[in-house]
Amino acid sequence: MTDSFSDTQASVLLGTAEKMIDVWNRLSPEKQAALLARFGTQENALAALVTTQLLAPATR
């Protein structure tokens, strides 16, 4: 296992994280509160959103 990302992997990860931050900012306060209640912190909630996005089938 490698301990670094390729440029392509890093680019995909950063792009996905940027999209998820944008999604977070567009969520209603109620949905943000629900995610915070479930995951404890905004960082954990964003990590869950990013992970979900990365693992989602590429059907878009």
Within 1-60, residue ranges assigned H as helices are 7-26, 29-39, 42-55
pLDDT digits (tens, 9 = 90+) for 18-53: 888 888 899 999 999 999 999 999 989 988 877 877
In the predicted model, is pLDDT for residue 1 greater than 70?
no
Looking up tokens 């306060």, which residue turns up?
Answer: 29
CB atoms within 10 A of CB 51: 12
Whole-prediction pTM: 0.62
